[in-house]
Chains A and B, each alone.
Chain A
């Protein structure tokens, strides 16, 4: 009897493992497809049944993609825009959340409500008016136009506030008695105690700005001001269905930075997003 049960359990475990790996295959297959596709010759791409392993890796596809559209410029634009926006957001979110938790003042509730209520306003509603605003400021095709309208933080303030509320008050009081001012407290006590949350914040905002498509599409007109996601869509448009090798190579280049961020920071992303969601 017990033996039969043991058998059953082993079989169930095996079945479960098989299902888990089936899930992995389904989720990973597209990534394998684009990675190998980027190295295929045109002949290998346009055959059926498809080729699974490129015989003679065509690294020249990457060169062709880089030459077909100004990828260097797209990357520069994406890097400046993403880093600029994330830096502003981090500073704003840290100061706002600090003020909301540790500075004595009236009207905190209103400020917090006004900040978080911004989450309810979809980007769609702000798109046209913000376009008109930056057009009037002469900010079309500029970094400030790409950065400033998307640099306000709502979720980040919420994330930091929730964390700051859990920090030990005694420690802060002790630091204050030692003559630490608010800026000192923020720098020497609060920030060091918030490293994991800050990493989560950075990753969430890094990913969302790097991948943003709609605002850069609206805020820029000239090709040399486009960002990487728009650049990839453009590459696909100009190369059409005739030249998939370079298109897939360009796609791999566009995917690479966030893949790298993900591999490096996976622990924090998973914890931050899973945990953050539960607190929220």
Chain B
């Protein structure tokens, strides 16, 4: 009897020791790794998707850019830098680059300038101002393809609304979308109409954050409305402007649906931008190597622009 109790007792002790050991080990592991397994469980699915569908493609695009491949044949032929050499010396590709710069500068510049003007107007305490703000932002949430379809109708010189506006102004509307120079202007204007709401809303939020005392102080110093705008408003909006430039530049490099529907890159490549030509090379001409090389160039260009903007921003933007 006593012995049994002893045995039981010793067994209990042993198991307690073992359990304490486990607990100690868990505590030790926790101290060492925190809730590491749980953390991994929470972040892993998203990281896995990012790895497979964002980072791996980046690497694979780099690899494909050294190959010649038609997407179908079982062999990819290594051609070294040939795809890059071709693109960088190709006149058509130069035109594509120029179009991309024109489109980006036009869209980003127009969107931001107009966005600032709209924001200043919509910052006034007028009746119905909320409704007005609502209308300015609507186009931003609409499908680019659908927007492009009805703009094709509006831009028709024979029966579109631009024809009417032109006749009110006493002229005749050109055929915007089939004109070698005006097609790009039209694409930029539609793009500005669609995106200006974003810049407006961001600028509005920025305006409402400027401390009122700064304006009061400037008024005390005898500054008029224009001087106040230059001395207070503009510098205070500096960081936001930088943010908007970066975001809109990246967005405009990726504009596809508007161009696809409005002009399909034409007339004669007049509105073919970098992304559009990448899509054409990859999925129309089935030239994987050139498409990949062009997309690597696009990635590099965006990286350089982002860096430049951050650098410029550090110098220009005043935080005091």
- Using a CB–CB distance below 8 Å, which chain A residues touch chain B? 13, 16-17, 19-21, 23-24, 27-31, 33-34, 37, 45-50, 92-93, 95-96, 98-100, 103-106, 108, 111, 114-115, 118, 120-133, 148-154, 157, 182, 207, 210-211, 213-214, 218, 228-230, 232-233, 235-236, 241, 244, 247-248, 251, 254-255, 258-259, 261-262, 266, 269-270, 273-275, 277-278, 280
Contacts and interface: CB of A to CB of B under 8 A. Distances in A.
A270 B30 CA distance: 43
A153 B46 CA distance: 7
Query: What is the size category of the interface that chain B forms with chain A?
Result: 35 or more
10 contacts: A30-B147, A34-B150, A122-B250, A129-B56, A129-B60, A182-B35, A232-B143, A259-B141, A270-B137, A278-B206
A278 B202 contact: yes
A232 B53 contact: no
Interface of B: 30, 33-36, 38-39, 42-43, 45-47, 49-50, 52-58, 60-61, 64, 71, 118, 121-122, 124, 126, 129, 131-139, 141-154, 156, 158-161, 163-164, 167, 193, 196-198, 201-202, 204-206, 209, 240, 243-244, 247, 250, 253-254, 256-257, 260-261, 274-275, 278-279, 282-283, 288, 291-292, 295-296, 298-299, 302-303, 306
A24 B279 CA distance: 36
B64 A103 contact: no
Nearest to B244: A277
Contacts of A108: 39
Q: Give the dominant DSSP class at A's interface.
A: helix
A213 B147 CA distance: 12
B258 to A, nearest CB: 9
Nearest to A273: B201
B59 to A, nearest CB: 9
Contact of B303 (A92, A120, A151, A247): A120
B300 to A, nearest CB: 10
A255 B62 CA distance: 38
